[in-house]
Structure 1
Amino acid sequence: MTTFYIKILFILRPLFIRLGVNFDQLAAIVEVKLKMDNRRTRFNQMNKKQQESNASFYWTLLLYAFLSSIFGFFVYISASVTAVYSMAFAYVMFMLAMTLITDFSSVILDSNDNAVLLPRPIDDRTLLIARITHILMYLLSMMFALSLPVLVATIIKYGVFVGFIFLIISLLLLILIVFLTNIFYLVLMKFTSEEKLRNIINSFQIILTFIFMGGYRIVGRLVNFEALQSSLELKAMWWHYLIPPIWMGNSMNVAINHQFDGSKFLFIFLTLTVPFMVFFLVNNVLSESFGQKIAGMDVAKREERVPNQVKSNGFVGRLAQIFTGTPIEHGAFEFVWKLTSRDRKFKLRVYPSLAYLLIYPIFMIGAGKSEGSFSQQIENLRESSWLLVMMIYLCFSILLTIRLQISQSEEFKASWIFTIAPLTHPGEVLSGAFRSVMVKFMLPIILLLSIILPIIWGGDIIDDIFFGALTVINIALLNAISSRDNKLPFSTEVRNNSGGTFLRTMLYMIATGMIGFIHFFLMKVSYVILVFAIFQLILALYLLKKYRELGWEKVSME
């Protein structure tokens, strides 16, 4: 795969040279980064070398193609060209943007290679374009996987030429989303200090998540199933010119139906020019002093500070006393709590995904009927028991998302301390970490849902909230107890470029949705959920005890 990417890079050599980039330096940087991604090795407890497989990335691409097949079906059956292609482009844009924010933002702001690159005569433009090109290599594969079903349906229905037009527009969409997202980071880097940038970057990613999800929902509300069945095209509104998927949907309409007017001309103009305008802005204006800013972030991170005096019985310590049962559990609880608060790169990887899980239920509410007054809309929501169940399980899947990331750290080699410590049962460390995640991330969600949801659905849904929380906890515990591949906290290497963080979140959302389907039918019978919640609580206490007793045979160290 690396060889294929490098060949594409050399085909585009004249373009990079015209952009003022030192192509030899760019090619060398990108090639080394790709080889490092594919040839990362590590050692297990028996000092045997292990090669990391790329299978997860290919499975990610396959699953992306499978999820996109529904849009290929819509393209084949739909009579409204603008509506169906606007929806397809909105989906591709949303998936690429969320993958970029959750999986690849840390690559742009990575300072680990500063010691190698910055002392060398590499200009800021070449350094920035090399990092973006590195990301584009992976996102290009994802874009093809997402677009493939729609491309096949387009070729079958409209011919090869229209399929080629669709592919070109998809590439323009990829350029737009990558450079548009990075414009936000570069503007922040240009007008804020390095220390402030480090402090606000996670909040900014959450805002970006909200923006992209909001845009996706707007297109979803504009393009409903009735619009797909109708042969009438959407009437151009002023705000359509602010939404890229609608530009591109109208451009496909021109290519297929040859309907051309003033508004269509403007949509085509925006589709063809805005991606390159954004690229020009990044390359010629915002790339200045990129290297110095990255170096400044690294210096700010390494500044020596006077350590605060550790309080032996602070707030976290009191929580640990309440929720843990052994001294080792207590220590693991505090360790995970404090490290997840202080580790900037952990927050950079995790918080955007958490924002997605918390923001998505807000937009789910908007998926209901929007006619009538506010009180009528609330009444409509009260009749939607399925929406209540889905909101509960989507919010609680935070626990599963955190468990995927809690084992990873850029300082994973320090985990040797676990192997030399007198730990008879490493399950105590795992249990302490699990309890810390539950209390820090899941308990506030339980309290928040217990306050907000009863306002809409009434106080008798409290048992549903606790039943959903206990269900997710028990699934996580059963999975951990039955696995022989448990990872101790922050003991494995960060896998930046598998593209799987956001996708694994989506898979957990699907799984929790299936559980919520069963919950939906159980809640129709009075007191059944309350009785089952009591059994769930007893099971959770038992499983926590068994989890604490796990031995080394259930733990995998790298």
Structure 2
Amino acid sequence: MKEMRTLWVLDRFKGVFGKFGVDYPVMRRILQIKLTMDGRRVPTIIGKARNKDQADGGKVNGTEKNQFFSSLWLYLIFGAFSSMFVGLGDNFIFQMSLIFGIFMFMIMTSLISDFSSVLLDIRDRNILSTKPVNRRTIAMAKMLHICFYMFFLTGAIAIVPLGVGLVRHGIGFFLLFVAELILMDLLIVVITALIYLAVLKFFDGEKLKDFINYVQIGLTIVIALGYQLLIRLFDFVDLQQAVFQPKWWEFVIVPVWFGAPFETLLHGDNSIPYLLFSLLALCVPILTFLLYIKLMPSLERNLQKLADPGSRKKEGAGKWLKSISHLLGSSPQEEVFFRFAWTMMGNEREFKLKVYPSIGFSLIFPFIFLFTSGRERGLSGLPGTKLHLFIYFCALLVPNVILMLKYSRSYKAAWIYRVLPIGDRVPVYRGTLMAAVVRLILPLYAVEAVVFAILFGGRIVPDLIVAGLAILAYSVLSFAYLSKALPFSERLETAQQGEGMRMIPLMLLLGGFALVHYAATLVSFGVYVYAALLLAANWVLWQKAFSAKLP
């Protein structure tokens, strides 16, 4: 088995792990196996020939290929854009609070959407629970597995800002920046784990799985709102003269903690607020990590609750689902795949772990843009404006939902498609997309529409209907544009590989729908004409966009 340099670095701290009751040799072996298996993940595309990487066993030039690293360039670009704040001047409390706000936003959302399934993975227990391995060792291996990827993720985001900081502000700034990035990552991982531990403590079975998804939505909303609140802590004269006046409630804004040490250590500002912020940046990550180590056995013990199937669903649940599928489906096969996709989306925990965070963002983004643009008017000034068109931002989740419909942990069961009497993919695709729209997209839009109707008044109801029709058409067009595969037939580990750039045209398409809607509001009866056109477009799209023969 391949020796990894990451593990060589870890060996220098094996004595520290031993003091916390971790069996280091066993933990090292578990971590080595996890990282080796990660490197052997190979995309599985049903209906397509294997590419060269697959034929070589997932290797490139004889080296095991890890698909995670191929996506880091996108984070590198975001980090490069944020580096301008580092070189802006020497108002460190503003610059670095904003930088750490951006970094925490990106890293924590990535952790919640991509690595929660690792943190909550119970498959290890089937093997390790029968061996003489204590729970603390298993939990530490799991945490270090996540930290390994967090290190590279943070490195990709921070490497350009670190370089700019070294050139612009010197070696002291650079070293302090690196130290705080480590503390930030530690805090993010530990706080997420402790939140899940609290949930695991009080819930079990299916209720636990559902509640964890609600926690994810809540976390993403809090992160998005906190990021917006961070900007509003400063009074701007210009970007280089942002004035910060500490208030008691600002002590809960975590990025400010990490901005304060730059003022204290590099500018010599030893005022009480800055000293307290700096102590929080140092002490809270370390103390929460010590608390996590103490509670690790409890986390591993309570993870077993995820294996509990919970109480059986009532008979009535199947009846109303069958009624909905019969109402919306145009053929018996379409009804079957509607119910199949609906059930999979409800039962597939990994699907929900990746999709539900995007629901949180889509729920809050329209209101962020709404109140950012209309804060001078206040709530009473919203009626009569066209700011209600920000409701289109709730459709940001659509591409991610559609993309994830083809992935599953149980992808090997896709052989069933080959033995079923299916002549073409039309009922498969249409029934699956219809289930996703009815279960995830339309309920979110309905909630947003009700709130917007309250804020703007009843006059926007026709606009809300038009926006709903536009989102339906957008869903079908997104499906037609993204790469296709049979529902839940591909390996979950390959999710979102190489699809990042394909999302950009879809974002532009969504903006195009909103712009056409805006133009329609400028013409008498334009909204009603646009509604009629969208009705016709939806009829054509839902009839014609799914025609594809099975190979």
Q: TM-score range by the shorter chain?
A: 0.7 to 0.9
Matched, 1:75 2:86: yes
**Tell me, which stretches of 5 or more residues in structure 1 are unaligned?**
554-558
Cα 1:322–1:199 change in 2 (3 A) is closer
Q: If the length of structure 2 is used for normalisation, what is the TM-score?
A: 0.87
From 365, 389, 402, the counterpart of 1:360: 365
Which digits, 9 at most, give the CA deviation of each residue in 1:230-282, with x for residues without a partner?
164x1222223222211111111223322223332222222122111010000
In the alignment, which residue of structure 1 is the partner of 2:543?
Answer: 545
Q: How large is the Cα RMSD of the aligned pairs?
A: 3.2
In the alignment, which residue of structure 2 is the partner of 1:151?
Answer: 162
From 233, 255, 260, the counterpart of 1:245: 255
Task: Quote the Cα distance in structure 2 between the aligned partners of 1:28 and 1:244.
Answer: 35
Cα 1:255–1:306 change in 2 (3 A) is closer
Task: Quote the Cα distance in structure 2 between the aligned partners of 1:497 and 1:136.
Answer: 20
In the alignment, which residue of structure 1 is the partner of 2:342?
Answer: 337
Note the C-alpha offset of 1:178: 0.8
Which amino acid in structure 1 is aligned with residue 284 of structure 2?
V
Task: Quote the Cα distance in structure 2 between the aligned partners of 1:215 and 1:505.
Answer: 26
Which amino acid in structure 2 is aligned with residue 107 of structure 1?
V
Which digits, 9 at most, give the CA deviation of each residue in 1:516-549, with x for residues without a partner?
3564455434443432332232222212222342
8 Å CA contact 2:463–2:527 kept in 1: the answer is yes
Note the C-alpha offset of 1:429: 0.6
Task: Quote the Cα distance in structure 2 between the aligned partners of 1:196 and 1:501.
Answer: 33
Which digits, 9 at most, give the CA deviation of each residue in 1:334-381, with x for residues without a partner?
11122322333432332232122112333333424546xxxx512443
Note the C-alpha offset of 1:105: 1.2
Task: Quote the Cα distance in structure 2 between the aligned partners of 1:77 and 1:175.
Answer: 28
Matched, 1:396 2:405: no
In the alignment, which residue of structure 1 is the partner of 2:149?
Answer: 138
In the alignment, which residue of structure 1 is the partner of 2:274?
Answer: 264
Note the C-alpha offset of 1:115: 1.3
Task: Tell me the secondary structure at the aligned position of residue 30 of structure 2.
Answer: helix
Task: Quote the Cα distance in structure 1 between the aligned partners of 2:317 and 2:452.
Answer: 37
Larger RCO of the pair (alpha carbons < 8 Å, separation 6+)? 1
Question: Structure 2 matches for 1:125-524, cutoff 5 A?
Answer: 125-193=136-204, 196-223=207-234, 226=237, 228-230=239-241, 232=243, 234-284=244-294, 286-298=295-307, 300-301=308-309, 309=315, 314-368=319-373, 370=375, 376-382=377-383, 385=386, 387-390=387-390, 392-481=391-480, 485-495=483-493, 512-513=510-511, 516-517=514-515, 519-521=517-519, 523-524=521-522
In the alignment, which residue of structure 1 is the partner of 2:529?
Answer: 531
Which amino acid in structure 1 is aligned with residue 338 of structure 2?
F
Note the C-alpha offset of 1:432: 0.7
Note the C-alpha offset of 1:195: 6.0
Which amino acid in structure 2 is aligned with residue 269 of structure 1?
L
Task: Quote the Cα distance in structure 2 between the aligned partners of 1:202 and 1:229.
Answer: 41
Cα 1:512–1:32 change in 2 (3 A) is farther
- Number of paired residues? 540
In the alignment, which residue of structure 2 is the partner of 1:556?
Answer: none
8 Å CA contact 1:82–1:249 kept in 2: the answer is yes
In the alignment, which residue of structure 1 is the partner of 2:62?
Answer: none
Task: Quote the Cα distance in structure 1 between the aligned partners of 2:404 and 2:302.
Answer: 28
Task: Tell me the secondary structure at the aligned position of residue 367 of structure 1.
Answer: helix
Which amino acid in structure 2 is aligned with residue 151 of structure 1?
L
Task: Quote the Cα distance in structure 1 between the aligned partners of 2:542 and 2:282.
Answer: 57
Higher mean C-alpha deviation, range 271-280 or range 399-408: 399-408
Note the C-alpha offset of 1:448: 3.3
Which digits, 9 at most, give the CA deviation of each residue in 1:174-198, with x for residues without a partner?
1111111111112333454566533
Task: Quote the Cα distance in structure 1 between the aligned partners of 2:239 and 2:330.
Answer: 58
8 Å CA contact 2:517–2:530 kept in 1: the answer is no
In the alignment, which residue of structure 2 is the partner of 1:38?
Answer: 39
Amino-acid identity (%): 26
Which amino acid in structure 2 is aligned with residue 262 of structure 1?
I
8 Å CA contact 2:184–2:285 kept in 1: the answer is yes
Which amino acid in structure 1 is aligned with residue 262 of structure 2?
M
Note the C-alpha offset of 1:466: 4.0
Task: Tell me the secondary structure at the aligned position of residue 142 of structure 1.
Answer: helix
Task: Quote the Cα distance in structure 1 between the aligned partners of 2:169 and 2:514.
Answer: 40
Which digits, 9 at most, give the CA deviation of each residue in 1:202-223, with x for residues without a partner?
2222222233233222212214
Cα 1:516–1:221 change in 2 (3 A) is farther
Which amino acid in structure 2 is aligned with residue 350 of structure 1?
V
Note the C-alpha offset of 1:122: 1.2
Cα 1:192–1:336 change in 2 (3 A) is closer
Note the C-alpha offset of 1:382: 4.2
Which amino acid in structure 2 is aligned with residue 349 of structure 1?
K
Cα 1:453–1:160 change in 2 (3 A) is same
Higher mean C-alpha deviation, range 266-275 or range 528-537: 528-537
Task: Quote the Cα distance in structure 2 between the aligned partners of 1:271 and 1:502.
Answer: 33
Note the C-alpha offset of 1:510: 6.7
Cα 1:404–1:187 change in 2 (3 A) is same
Which amino acid in structure 2 is aligned with residue 544 of structure 1?
W
Cα 1:522–1:147 change in 2 (3 A) is farther
